[in-house]
Amino acid sequence: MSSHDDIHSGEMTDTRLDQLLAAANRELLDHVEATADSHRALTAIMTRSTQEAPSP
Amino acid sequence: MTASGRGPEPASQSPSYASLQVPAPGSVVQMRADWISFYDTHYHRVVRFVMHNGASQADAQDAAQEAFIESWALMSSDPSRWQAITSKEAWIRTVALRRYRRPPGPRRRPPTAGEEIPDLPAPGPGHEELTVQVQLVLWALRTLDEEARTVMAFDLDDVPAADIAHELDITQQRVRDVKKKARTALMQELAGNPTPGRRQP
């Protein structure tokens, strides 16, 4: 199932909903992994954490 | 009750803290290594979780980053409290969602009633690059109320009902009821039979 027409055709069953949600879930994670740089985010987190750490 | 209405941050209140155990000497290094592993496993999934709750990807990334900053700060300042969080996967998502819904600064304004459901079948700004299938699911999730959307987002991440109930401060039966109702609404929306009262494209 990969198009708007496919999704809207026929009756939506529990099984079909599970399949659709699972497929969209995987696709969205793939997209996020491809476009959100976790290493850069980690560097930003460490930088922010260092800056916000209370002085001894 | 939803995650946004639970009062103080989980760091000070969440019942996820089942016990307060002092880490063994020398365990700080191991704890930091575990945190990095936790981050590597969950960063992208937390971004996705916040997107399932209606955020653009940019806002979801900001919220996830702030949540991980908070978790790092907690682990560094109070290791025993961090270790005592029994469901860190659910906890980090709750923190990220609160960061998204209640940002500390003027970066975001709270949505008004008229903005909650879009006029067009778009899941939100910044989603143009997503597949039609993903956009439709995100849009269908946005037709749910806040509690149902959050329960479904947790469920899509395979968070157990007990942990969802824990984080949202509701009963497990309530989680099951909300999920059942949400799935029925999603089936109607995605089959092209919109739920009565919802704004449709």
B40 inside domain: yes
Task: Write the pLDDT tens digit of every residue in B140-198.
Answer: 999 999 999 999 999 999 999 999 999 999 999 999 999 999 999 999 999 986 665 55
Please give the angle made by the CA atoms of B162, B165 and B169, to the nearest 5 degrees.
145
B197 inside domain: no
Res A11 pLDDT > 50: yes
| Rg of the Cα atoms in chain B | 18
- The structure's pTM equals 0.77
B11 inside domain: no
Amino acid B189 reads E
Task: Write the pLDDT tens digit of every residue in B115-124.
Answer: 444 433 445 5
List of chain B residues whose C-beta atoms are within 8 Å of the C-beta of residue A4:
132, 136
Pinpoint the alpha helices (H) of chain B: 10-13, 27-52, 57-77, 79-84, 88-101, 132-142, 146-156, 161-168, 172-190
- Average pLDDT for residues B3-20, to the nearest whole number? 43
Domain of B149, in residue numbers: 28-106+118-190
Does A18 touch chain B if contact means CB atoms closer than 8 Å? Answer: no
B127 inside domain: yes
**Cα–Cα distance between A14 and B139 in angstroms, integer?**
19
B42 inside domain: yes
Tokens of A10: 């026929």
Tokens of B97: 């969602």
Nearest by CB to A28, from B65, B134, B188: name it. Answer: B134
Put simply, the answer to whether B188 touches A41 (Cβ < 8 Å) is no
Please, are residues B49 and B167 in contact by the beta-carbon 8 Å criterion?
Answer: no
**Cα–Cα distance between B201 and B193 in angstroms, integer?**
12
* Complex prediction ipTM: 0.79
Nearest by CB to A7, from B48, B130, B136: name it. Answer: B136
Put simply, the answer to whether A20 touches B138 (Cβ < 8 Å) is no
What was the pLDDT predicted at A52? 72
B8 inside domain: no
B5 inside domain: no
Q: How would you classify residue A20: left for phi > 0, otherwise alpha for psi between -120 and 50, otherwise beta?
A: alpha
Per-residue confidence band for B91, with pLDDT thresholds at 50, 70 and 90: very high
- Using alpha carbons, list the distances in angstroms from residue B141 to A31, B29, B79, B144: 18, 40, 36, 5
Please, are residues B118 and B124 in contact by the beta-carbon 8 Å criterion?
Answer: yes
What was the pLDDT predicted at A12? 86
List of chain B residues whose C-beta atoms are within 8 Å of the C-beta of residue A52:
69, 73
- Average pLDDT for residues B127-132, to the nearest whole number? 80
Nearest by CB to B57, from A10, A21, A32: name it. Answer: A32
Average pLDDT, chain A: 81
- Using alpha carbons, list the distances in angstroms from residue B120 to B136, B143, B144: 11, 12, 15
- Overall domain count for chain B: 1
Does A27 touch chain B if contact means CB atoms closer than 8 Å? Answer: yes
Q: Minimal Cα–Cα distance from A22 to chain B, Å?
A: 8
Nearest by CB to A7, from B45, B133, B156: name it. Answer: B133
B9 inside domain: no
**Cα–Cα distance between B156 and B138 in angstroms, integer?**
12
Put simply, the answer to whether B137 touches A21 (Cβ < 8 Å) is yes
